[in-house]
Amino acid sequence: MSKAITITAEYFQQYRRRLGFANQAAVKDFFGAKDITPTVDFNYVKILNKRLYAIIDKVDAIVVKEIKTKNLLAFKEEHIDSPFQIMKESGILPILNNQGRRPEQVYFSWMRGFVISSYFLKALGLIFGVNTSKIDLIGDDDLRSVETFKRTPKADLEIKLKEKEKIRIEMQAGFTGINDIKQHKVLEAKRVFRDKGIHSLAIHFDLYNGQVAFIKLDEIKDNSVNWITRQQMEGQTVFNIDQNYFIWKITEKPVKYKEINFD
C-alpha cells in the first residue's frame, strides 16, 4: 500500500505559483486558452459588410416608395461603413463573443439588426405620424465599449405621441422565420410602465417572410402560452411571436399605429 499523504490547499497555491500564476483565474485562462485574443479576419468582415449592402439593396428594391431611402450610398456609409470603422478603431471587434461564435459573426449579427432598424426609421415616422427627427434614440448600445455594446433590456427608441404621451419602441429583426422576444425585454417594459407609466411596443421585422409584428410588451401576460424555452439560445425563456401579431406586409404601405387593433 502506498504511503498516505496529505494534500492541502497551501500546496495547491504553491503549485500554481511554481507554474507561474498568482491566482486561480489566471491558471484557468491559461489552460483554457481564454487569455488569447482571437485575430479578426478583416477580409471576412469586408465580405460580410458587402452582404449588408446587398441586404439593404434587396429590401429597398421591394418596399413602397414612401419608405425608400433617398440615397442608398449615403445610408450605407452612415449605417455600415462608419459604425464598422468606429468598432475597428476602438478595438472591440476581437473581444466580441456570444455563445462561442467568432467575433466576425457576432459583429455581422448585431450589424444586420442595426442596419434594418435604421433603414425602417422612415417607416416608423409614417406609422406614428411623426417626423423622424422627433424620434429619440435612447438605447444603451455603444460602439466603442464592449460592456455597453452588449444588448441591454432598455428599448431603442422613444416617440412623443401627444403633448405628454410617450411610447418606447423596441425594434427587432428576424432572418430565419423564428420570431421571439427575449424575456428581459418584457420585464424591462413592465418595469418602465410601472415606474414611469410609459408603454413599450416591440416592432418585429420578419425579413424571412416579409412581415412585421406589433406587440405591446408591458401587456404580455406572465402565463401566456407563447412563453417557451428556446434550446437554440442556450435554454433562454422567450416570448414566441404568434402569427396573429403580424399585421403589415413589408411590400405594402405601413399600417397606422392609431388604426391597429391590439385586442
pLDDT at 224: 95
Q: What is the phi/psi pair of residue 229, to 5°?
A: -100, 120
Q: Is the pTM of this model over 0.85?
A: no
Query: What is the C-alpha separation between 21 and 27, in angstroms, rounded?
Result: 6
Strand pairing class (246-249; 236-240): unpaired
Kindly report the CATH number that applies to the domain delimited by 124-263.
3.40.1350.10
Mean pLDDT, consecutive 10-residue segments, the chain of 263 residues? 77 91 90 82 96 96 95 96 92 79 89 93 93 75 57 72 86 93 95 94 96 96 94 82 96 95 85
Scan for cell 483565474, then name that residue.
Answer: 25
Indicate the SS3 state at residue 90: helix
C-alpha cell at 25: 483565474
Q: Structural domain boundaries of the chain?
A: 1-36, 37-119, 124-263
pLDDT at 263: 78
User: How many residues are there in the chain?
Assistant: 263
Q: What is the phi/psi pair of residue 141, to 5°?
A: -65, 135
Q: Which helix (H) or strand (E) element contains residue 82? A: helix 82-90
